[in-house]
Amino acid sequence: MHFFSTLITGFGATLCFAAFSWGVSKHFRSTGAMPLGMKLTSLLSLALFAFFVWHIAQGASGLWLVSLGLFAGSLAVFAAAVAASRHTPPTLAFDTDAPDFLLQHGPYRYVRHPFYLAYILFWLGTAVAVQGFFGWVAPILMTALYIEAATREERKFANSDLADAYNAYRARAGMFWPRPWARLAG
């Protein structure tokens, strides 16, 4: 059973990581060369994923089903965000473009940054799978990077022609987590 749980956990994590890598190369757009911040984020992600694979090879924790749930949730949010942005893909993280559209359908109805939510769920899943102090380094570091990237994106909207629409959107949708009370009130 231990071999099976380790194998299926590693497979689930690899499936997520492969989907995210596909997104960087095939879904998101860039206004030029890949931004330095995105390059650094990608390299750090790869290094942390390699650390996870090395660690998980020693065996998944007893909470491997929780990890699988987080991986499944991550993939579901990611797929929904890709579907919602298929015709108007967002730019890569840390790009300096001026936004000219605002997505507010699909998962964007509830969270302003569903891709980052998917990534955070993934890194939480890796931490639960390895269940050790060092396993929590990845979600902490990567969440800090996602907060920085999201904050930069929000500043881009604040300085664009979409500033008023984005402010109204911010009142309805959470940054990474849905705001159910805003939906009830509105």
CA–CA separation, 35 and 41 (whole Å): 10
pLDDT of residue 183: 52
Domains identified in the chain, total number: 1
Q: Coil, strand, or helix at residue 29? A: strand
Range of the structural domain that residue 59 is part of: 2-185
Q: What is the pLDDT along the chain (186 residues), one digit of tens a residue?
A: 588 889 999 999 999 999 999 999 999 998 889 999 999 999 999 999 999 999 998 888 899 999 999 999 999 999 999 999 999 999 999 999 999 999 999 999 999 999 999 999 999 999 999 988 889 999 999 999 999 999 999 999 999 999 999 999 999 999 999 987 655 444
d(CA 181, CA 186): 8
Of 157, 38, 142, 76, nearest to 173 by C-alpha is 157
Provide the CATH number for the domain around residue 165.
1.20.120.1630
DSSP string, 149-174: HHHHHHHHHHTSTTHHHHHHHHHHSB
